[in-house]
Structure 1
Amino acid sequence: MTLPQAISLDELKEEGCIYFAHIQEGFDRYACKMLTGSGEYLRTRLLELIWRNGWENSFVDFYYGRLNEKERRIVRKVLNQEQRDYLLAMDVKEEDLYFNLTPELFSITFQLSVTETLFSTFYFSKYPCCVWANFEGKYPVFYKKEEKERIKLDGI
């Protein structure tokens, strides 16, 4: 089992990821495409972005370490046993917020986002874009206008 590495916000930015603290800033500064559909459709679109960027250029924010124990129990109830075991093995600390994405962590963060239990943002650096999951039932993909062709957003 490969556990993800926590990285700092500065490291996330140094990787070339698009980052903003408030979603309105994203709408103001970047082009945006809204992804909507079933959980399986959204999962497939995110996996396409991971495939295009590579796991090594894919990151996620994960707020589990900042939850109190009651909130953590709620999160764990949404996950299957394999996901719970992986989460416990991660031993997420309060200061850990940004992580290199792994298939297991993707499974966990996507499940929590799609069920509206705990939201995450997915960041990509090879073809810079970020996906806020889940904003009012939609997944906005933010990108630089000039990157649209390289990201191949028309295919999403």
Structure 2
Amino acid sequence: MVNNDKKRTLGALADSRMREKGLDSKHLAKKLNVTPQAVNKWRRGDAIPNSDILPKLAAELGLSVDELLTGEPQPIESKAEGRLESKIKSLTSNTATSISVTIGALMAFIALYVTCTINLLFSDCAMPFLGHLLWTIVSAVCAFGGVFLMLWGLHVGKKNEIRKDEED
């Protein structure tokens, strides 16, 4: 059984957040699929939503369930949203670094391969100079692009490690 203090805390916080957000009981009730009378009971502190509705109510009010029940602000790191956001950021930066280094290395390898096979590909060509020039340009672009991607990926990875160390 939920004590009366929790009901009053939830009611006062829900009421103030609804006023801040310009939500009325009918609108919130419709979003949560409950009656406006149920919302009014929560606002007065006469009742508390069941466990199925509590997370939805917290989300509508822009709070965590802990904040809604305790009335105390929670730091973003302790909220599920904050933990998920930091996980996504770390995965994104690590993934971008890995992909750019891999693609860069692949491009540099292709450039080396192309350079080594120019004579084999165009030795029988009617205009060998044009073929050599074309493949030299392609291999130079691949080489420079590959080196750029590798360096950029390593730079981003190093910058993310430094930022992560500063946060810890």
Task: Name the TM-score, length of structure 1 as normaliser.
Answer: 0.28
Higher percent of residues as strand: 1
Q: Which structure: larger Rg?
A: 2
Task: Name the TM-score, length of structure 2 as normaliser.
Answer: 0.27
